[in-house]
Amino acid sequence: MELPHKFKERMQRLMGDEYEDYLSSYNHKAYKALRINTLKTHVKPDVCSKPVPWCDSGYYYEAGSPGKDALHEAGAYYIQEPSAMSVITAAEIQDGETVLDLCAAPGGKSTQIACININGLTVSNEIIPSRAKILNQNTERMGIGNAAVTCASPRALADSWGAIFDTVVVDAPCSGEGMFRKLDVAVTEWSEDNVAACAARQREILECAKRLVKSGGKLIYSTCTYSQEENEDNIAAFLLDNGDFKQIATPLDSIQGIQRGINGLGYRLYPHKINGEGHYVAVLCKSGEKKDIRYPTLKPCVNDKDLKLYKDWADKNLINAPTCNNKSGDMLYYTPQNMPRMQGIKYLRLGLPLGTVAGGRFEPSHSLALHLKVSDAKNNLDLSSSSSQAAAYLHGESLPCESSGWTLVSVDGISLGWGKASDGILKNKYPKGLRK
């Protein structure tokens, strides 16, 4: 790999005696890892090798293509760059919090948050519509029921909501120096001008993000780059201008190979120090007592007719059914009670999409299927993840089935999608846009 000359000069100044060790890391292929989705399973795939030291549910893998496996489509795991998993570990999010992932696509950190914040609310935001769509798809695939996905600018969210979040995560758009070994395009697009532009944009995002953190809450800042301008310089300037924030220690202090940043600001993960591509993270705490605050929430809104359609379907097909308390367009939802009001905010989901109502019928959503446990449905068809039947289902084909009516299809006991059975045949309800 031919690294940009200016980049090498900058890294030599930054790394000093460690520069040659850093350069030698490019002789090693990029590390691959996945994170088990503990909302759905605790079983690690056969491809996994050793654990990722800074993430209890993270595992490296060297061979195979787990992204092509039926278990991936069932949301059993999320393929994620290993050093990126350090950010949520550093955040020390507690279950029950109200959390905002401000720059969330494609969803690695948001889905990691959701595995911790089972009884809280996670709002995942992405300003770019095409990336917000991918974020929403990953939220769906992982079976998350207590999250919103929004598509808005940080300023719009700060203006609309104010300081309502226990934790705000800013995984800021950056120059991507930590992705050089993984993505060739990161090398070709790098320039000093882009580093400066990224640093300026990150400062603007931080100025909005701070307005969303309530007293006693935390602001998490991370990048996948090495430049001091985008990392420590931004944090130093932020702390200088915002005396109500201070840096706090994190569990990363005890992880071998992870080192404190320049002047002790944040943490740096380098590819010659750890088995990963590189990351920067800093955790800042806002002064004041942490306490519950009242803010305008999304009010329950579903009429009795639609509610009856859902309840009648659920009584017939489910053993444990999520509550229906909201409607947006034709979609019925379970929406967490502490969901902030969405006035003027574009959103892609408001919790768990249950299904649509049209023509006097309720049609269950793919999101509902992926959220349910096999034990929640009255009719089940469980397939081996490595079987030809699982491949046929993902392709959209019909399958033999002994049940009748709506049937939850699963692989290795993990929900995958819907089918509707009659006369010994399961009509495939796997979404056409997801078929392989």
User: pLDDT tens-digit profile of 58-73?
Assistant: 999 998 899 999 999 9
Contact 417, 409 (CB under 8 A): yes
pLDDT band at 8 (very low <50, low <70, confident <90, very high): very high
Closest CA to 322 of 335, 334, 331, 308: 334
Contact 230, 197 (CB under 8 A): no
**Arithmetic mean of pLDDT, 14-32:** 94
More confident site: 292 or 376: 376
Percent of the residues in the chain that have a pLDDT greater than 70, as a whole number: 100
First to last CA, the chain: 33
Q: Are strands 121-125 and 98-101 parallel, antiparallel or unpaired?
A: parallel
Same fold, 5-286 and 373-436: no
Closest CA to 102 of 11, 211, 22: 211
Closest CA to 101 of 172, 169, 164: 169
Instruction: Judge whether residue 218 has pLDDT over 80.
Output: yes
pLDDT in tens, 97-132: 999 999 999 999 999 999 999 999 999 999 999 999
pLDDT of residue 63: 87
Query: CATH says 5-286 is which class?
Result: alpha beta
What does the DSSP 8-state code read for residue 44? P
pLDDT band at 155 (very low <50, low <70, confident <90, very high): very high
DSSP three-state, residue 411:
strand
pLDDT in tens, 252-295: 999 999 999 999 999 999 999 999 999 999 999 999 998 888 89
Q: Is the dihedral of CA 411, 415, 419, 425 positive or negative?
A: positive
* In the chain, where the domains are located: 5-286, 296-370, 373-436
The mean of the pLDDT values for the chain is: 96
pLDDT of residue 142: 98
More confident site: 228 or 184: 228
Tell me how far apart the alpha carbons of residues 115 and 132 are, in angstroms, rounded to a whole number.
Answer: 20
Prior bond of 106 cis (ω within 30°): yes
pLDDT in tens, 156-200: 999 999 999 999 999 999 999 999 988 889 999 999 999 999 999
pLDDT in tens, 68-104: 999 999 999 999 999 999 999 999 999 999 999 999 9
Tell me how far apart the alpha carbons of residues 85 and 56 are, in angstroms, rounded to a whole number.
Answer: 10
Tell me how far apart the alpha carbons of residues 24 and 272 are, in angstroms, rounded to a whole number.
Answer: 8
pLDDT of residue 181: 87
Residue spans of beta strands (DSSP E) within 329-379:
331-334, 347-350, 352-358, 361-364
**Arithmetic mean of pLDDT, 211-221:** 98
Q: Which fold would CATH assign to domain 373-436?
A: 2.30.130
pLDDT of residue 300: 87
User: How many of the other CB atoms lie within 10 Å of CB of 383?
Assistant: 21
